[in-house]
Structure formats: C-alpha cells, structure tokens
Structure 1
C-alpha cells in the first residue's frame, strides 16, 4: 500500500505561500509560513504579458492587487508597480507580485519545499508549462528537494513531463473523476491532488496501491487532517499551517512512516 518512494515534500503545505497568515502568493507569505514552522508551501504560477512566470492565482488582477485587467496582458514593468498586499492588511502595503525567480530563491534560503501549481491563463497551457517547467528545472538545480509540479491542465503536465521529466508531477482535480487513474498514467503523474471535500478512503487506498502519492486541499481542520492521514494521504495543503501541523505530530507514531523512513516532517 505504500508507494515505492517517500513523499518528498513537507507533509503540511501552506496554501498559496502563507495561507491566511499573509497576502497570498507573496514573499511575505513565504516568510510567514517559515515563521509558523511550516516546512513547505504551495503556490500558483502563470505568465505575465511579458511572458515571465509570476506568482498569482487569478487570471485578473482586481482581487489581490490594486491593478485592473488580465495578468496575461499586463507587462512586467506594470505588474511590478502594483500593490499586492494592502487588500489583505495595511501592514503588507507595498508587497509586490513576485517572480518565480524571487520565490525560488526565498524558498531555498528558508528551506521550504514547494508544490508549484502551473496555472495557465485560458489558451496558454502549453506555453506556460514550457516556461515554468524549464525555469523551475534551472532554479532548483542542485537544491536538496526539487519542486513538485501540479496542474489541473493535463496538457501542461504532458509538456512538463517532456521538458523536465525528473521533476515529479501531480494531477489536480476537484471531484475525483471515474478515470482518474488513467489520467494520472497518461500524463505521468506521480501524485493525485484532490479536493478534501470530495476525497474518500477507497480512492486513497487505490491510489497508493497504484504507487501514487496523494495530496489534498484545502484542509483547515486538524481532526479532518488526522482522518486523511489515517486513510493514507501523504500531504495536506492548508490555510492554517500552525493549526493543522499538530495532526502530523500525532500521526508520526503510525507504522506507515516509521522513524528513518525519509518522509519529511512539516
């Protein structure tokens, strides 16, 4: 039932860099995750209008910056001038939309493992995957732990597999489709990443018996996290890493991850 390799990232990942501790997808979020004792993060990467990989979740700027319009139509110089922090709290005024280069350097310096979601704007699946996979491969070259690339876009995962085959990949789904295993096989995914609201124990067991890791999002209840770990889930992604992390501590006595197994703690 245990996959042939240990899960390579922290077992609790802060959602969108720092969860609800800081503005999402920012360097401040990475610092907050590290300060909270979280050993890893998840964040989203799409392309700017200049073709540069940047950390942002939405295709439009309004929700998380003081800008307007589409990320894919906004050039780097204009994107860098935006405030990506005040919407969350005045303490973060002046926080910028970070580049993937900045985020990678900060994660490596802070010792944070990374689940990098390739998040293409509409119609940019292939180009986004090409740029992000190649850049990630370069930025984390020689790092202790390589990033895991995940995406809802199967085309993006196929492109990433061709360009950076040694970087592990995860297929993102919300409700787990009936053909999830075939899809994972088709894109060469090492992990199934599913919405915790719809994930069930039989699916976790089947995935692990098939040699896949299982990650799940967005888990903010420690009791639910404990249940998921008991089912065999490898990783939970959370908005509240400091609250959910104790579920891992409680779970460490489990025979699935005996001492010295190599699985990272959070």
Structure 2
C-alpha cells in the first residue's frame, strides 16, 4: 500500500541551527538556512496572555535574561528579553521570537516547519495544543504545506486536533511504550517522531504498514544517519547543520 504524499524535506534543523546559534531564535533559523536547510523544528509555548512563542525549557533562565516560568509573563515582557547572550556575545540582544514572526520567515522563503507543542504541565496540555494549532492554522491559511504539529503529550495532540483538525500531527516518543502505535493512530497522526536509537526495520515497517511516516531525532552522527536512511526513514532532525547541509541562501 502506497504511503500518503509527504511534503516535508528529509533533513530538519533542530531548534533552527540550535547549537551553532541561540536555539529557537530567528538568528538560528537564518543560520540553518544559510547552511542549506529548508525545514526547521522549534518548540512553542503560550505566554500568559496567550501568544505562541518559541522556547524549549519550562523556565527562562537557561536561554534568556529572564527568570521564572516561561509561561507566567505576557508577550510584551517576553519580547523584551535577551535570548542570545547566553550563547555568546555575538548574539547579544537577540529576542525570543513569536510564532507569528517564524511563520512569516518560513512562508517568505518557502520553508517547512515542525512545531513541537511544549505545554508547561499536563493540565495545560490540551489547551496549549488547541491554541497553538488554531494560531498556526490562521498563519498558514491557504498554504499547500502547513506546519507539522508534534508533541510528547497525547493530550496536546488531542487539543491540536480540536483547534485545527486539518493540520498534520505527529506523536513524539522517547521510548516505544506499550500501545504507542495505537495512540498515534487514535490521534489521527500522520507520523511518529522517535528518539533515533528506537527505530529499526521492524518499527519503521510497522509505521509504514499503517501509512504513517517515521522520523528520527536528534541525529548528529554520520554512521547513524546512514543506518536510518537505509531503513527508509522519512525525516531526520539534526543539530549538525554544518555536517549535513546543502542549498542556496534565503531572503530575510
């Protein structure tokens, strides 16, 4: 049985170029694009006033000049933080981006996006998924290649299905726990994104047999990339954009 069409590039830059530049910033996206990448992964939360923005951690300290919970500030306060200096003086003053600004960058350049839904808690998962999906559906309205919404939390994906049922969804897994495939199918997912050592011929075969795509994170070793490509995986998320890259530049 043939797999459904898959509009996303094979190689996906993790958090932009999230080790060479401050992760989850426009600077990281621009650097990934400069290395030839045409697809990006990022982490999205909601501000206290409901604005989707990019950050990975539950707290602000590691990657910004702020302190405390990332979801406790409104967007006005978050947008004034420095999300670059922690990575080096050259990035000082780089702000956290909103999903709106990332959408404009990707749409202007024809780039694909994988949005990981990052709710601050299990209790907030469904509402976060619903709100981020609804915002993404508006931002990418009428586009032939919408963003792929992924999460480790099934509740967030259930919320995404409510907020934007037509946007594609993917279940993230750090282990192949019992019932993982049924969970993905029940949520109407189009793909499963696994920690790369979990994927073998059997797991990729099960996914493809069920008309789901198989993606792997975070693939930085060339030998592991060759192994996964030999299995027929459909996407590789990597930090090593300077090792696995090709392509022309972009427009800001």
Which bracket does the TM-score occupy, shorter chain normalised?
over 0.9
CA RMSD of aligned residues (A): 1.4
State yes or no: 1:141 paired with 2:141. yes
SS of the equivalent of 2:132 reads helix
Q: Note the 1:41-80 alignment, pairs <5 A.
A: 41-80=40-79
SS of the equivalent of 1:143 reads coil
SS of the equivalent of 2:85 reads coil
TM norm structure 2: 0.93
Deviation of 1:11 (Å): 0.7
Unaligned runs of 5+ in 1: 247-266
CA distance in 2, matches of 1:211, 1:64: 38
Answer whether contact 1:205 1:232 (CA < 8 A) is retained: no
2:182 is aligned to 182
CA distance in 1, matches of 2:241, 2:111: 13
1:12 is aligned to 11
Answer whether contact 2:130 2:164 (CA < 8 A) is retained: no
Deviation string for 1:38-84 (max 9, x for gaps)?
11000010011222110000010000011100011112222111100
1:261 is aligned to none
SS of the equivalent of 1:71 reads coil
SS of the equivalent of 2:236 reads strand
SS of the equivalent of 1:197 reads helix
State yes or no: 1:159 paired with 2:159. yes
CA distance in 2, matches of 1:87, 1:186: 41
Deviation of 1:2 (Å): 4.8
Deviation string for 1:168-224 (max 9, x for gaps)?
100011012231111011111110110002322210111111110011100001221
Answer whether contact 2:131 2:160 (CA < 8 A) is retained: no
SS of the equivalent of 2:77 reads helix
Size of the alignment, in residue pairs?
245
Cα distance change of structure 1 residues 217 and 8 upon mapping to structure 2, 3 Å threshold:
same
1:25 is aligned to 24
CA distance in 1, matches of 2:18, 2:224: 17
Deviation string for 1:93-136 (max 9, x for gaps)?
10001111011001111221001111111121122112101000
Deviation of 1:7 (Å): 2.2
CA distance in 1, matches of 2:46, 2:183: 25
Answer whether contact 1:19 1:238 (CA < 8 A) is retained: no
1:113 is aligned to 112
Answer whether contact 2:174 2:194 (CA < 8 A) is retained: yes
1:40 is aligned to 39
